[in-house]
Homo-oligomer: A and B are copies of this chain.
Amino acid sequence: MGVNSLINRRQPPGPKDPISGEIYAKRDSNQGMLSLMPEQYPTVLEHHLDACKISCDIPVVVCGMAGAATGWLEAPYRPISEKLIDLAAYSVRVPSTTRCVSIIPGLKQCVPADVMRGEETQLLGLIAEDPGFTGIVCLPGTHTKWVKLDKGTVKSFTTCMSGELFALLSTQSVLKTSLNSDRWDNNAFENAVLELSKDPGKLATSLFGLRASDLLNGHQPQSAKARLSGLLIGYELMSMKHYWEQGNVRLVGDPSLCKRYQAALFIHKIQSTVENAEALTLKGLTLSFQRIQEHTYGA
């Protein structure tokens, strides 16, 4: 999803209705930072809102890459020491649109350097029911985030690029013809995670084997694809052990990808729970909207 904007309520909302957090309508689009110029965002947003019959006096709250320097309008990163609920107070108002559009900032960590945009809103949604939550959240995706939360505030986080590496190796590398399957061999995935748990160096020496095995032993793309995923996630887990070793990991992201992380953690005897990522995003956006209203009108 490019522009993350969920619209609440079952009836077309009016500008002064109290916010309930229910979904009135939903639209998905792959239009986002990678394909849009800043001046194109208003037209694209209005196109989708118009299709949902949302009148132009209804405000919009946006999180994610629209707030990047190369997105719609930069919403400068806030330090991780900021309380998640306070981020919305630093949201930027897009000028020169008739509609009120606010973009929520991401978080930055100075040492080691790391950044997130979008995940902070899901984290806000996660702690809505438990504002003092202390524990580990893993948000699998193209750039998986591992986050230590301490009493509802981000203590530290680390981004791993396993998702982007999987995409590059599957579609752009010498391995691509050996991985062209929509099927999935779960045993191959779990065996790879297990191998990496015993030897974290094995990623370097196992990748080309996917191609060589195809050439010498015959084409088994569903196994090769699952094995590649297991090698990458298995290596990531070995690198992130200092995050998950105390257990009780909350997983937030695409459900099928979260299930893979859950299975991989279970090989390390670690329990985890898969959260409803869309519900958390909506909850985070709802809380952010309330905070923006308070900040703007002192309500």
A235 within 8 Å of B (CB atoms): yes
Please determine whether B164 and A173 come into contact, CB atoms closer than 8 angstroms: yes
Partner of A204, one of B77, B160, B172: B160
A149 and B241 alpha carbons, distance in the complex (Å): 37
Q: How far is the CB of A230 from chain B (nearest CB, A)?
A: 14
Residues of B within 8 A of A213 (CB): 113
Residues of B within 8 A of A208 (CB): 114, 143, 159-161
A204 and B217 alpha carbons, distance in the complex (Å): 30
Q: How many residues of A contact B (CB 8 A)?
A: 44
Please determine whether B174 and A164 come into contact, CB atoms closer than 8 angstroms: yes
Q: Is the interface of A mostly helix, strand, loop or mixed?
A: helix
A205 within 8 Å of B (CB atoms): yes
A207 within 8 Å of B (CB atoms): yes
Among the 9-residue stretches A39-47, A83-91, A181-189, A195-203, the one with 4 or more Cβ atoms under 8 Å from chain B is: A195-203
Residues A201 and B113 in contact in the complex (CB < 8 Å), given A161-B208, A168-B168: no
Please determine whether B162 and A173 come into contact, CB atoms closer than 8 angstroms: no
Residues of B within 8 A of A212 (CB): 108-109, 112-115, 159
A78-115: which residues lie under 8 A (CB-CB) from chain B? 108-110, 112-115
A160 and B210 alpha carbons, distance in the complex (Å): 12
Q: Which B-chain residue is minimally distant from A215 (CB atoms)?
A: B115
Please determine whether B201 and A239 come into contact, CB atoms closer than 8 angstroms: yes
Contact with B along A17-47 (1 / 0, CB 8 A): 0000000000000000000000000000000
Residues of B within 8 A of A109 (CB): 212
Residues A202 and B239 in contact in the complex (CB < 8 Å), given A143-B208, A174-B143: yes
Contact with B along A111-150 (1 / 0, CB 8 A): 0111100000000000000000000000000010000000
Please determine whether A160 and B205 come into contact, CB atoms closer than 8 angstroms: yes
Residues of B within 8 A of A217 (CB): 113
Partner of A168, one of B173, B216, B239: B173
Q: How far is the CB of A156 from chain B (nearest CB, A)?
A: 11
A215 and B65 alpha carbons, distance in the complex (Å): 14
Residues of chain A touching chain B, judged by Cβ–Cβ distance below 8 Å, are 69, 77, 108-110, 112-115, 143, 158-162, 164-165, 168-169, 172-174, 200-209, 211-213, 215-217, 235-236, 238-241
Q: List 27 A-B contacts (CB under 8 A).
A: A108-B212, A109-B212, A112-B212, A113-B212, A113-B213, A113-B217, A115-B216, A143-B174, A143-B208, A158-B205, A159-B212, A160-B205, A161-B173, A164-B173, A164-B174, A168-B169, A168-B172, A200-B200, A201-B241, A202-B239, A203-B235, A204-B235, A204-B236, A204-B239, A204-B240, A205-B239, A205-B240
7 closest pairs, A vs B, by CB?
A: A201-B239, A204-B239, A159-B208, A113-B213, A113-B212, A168-B168, A161-B207
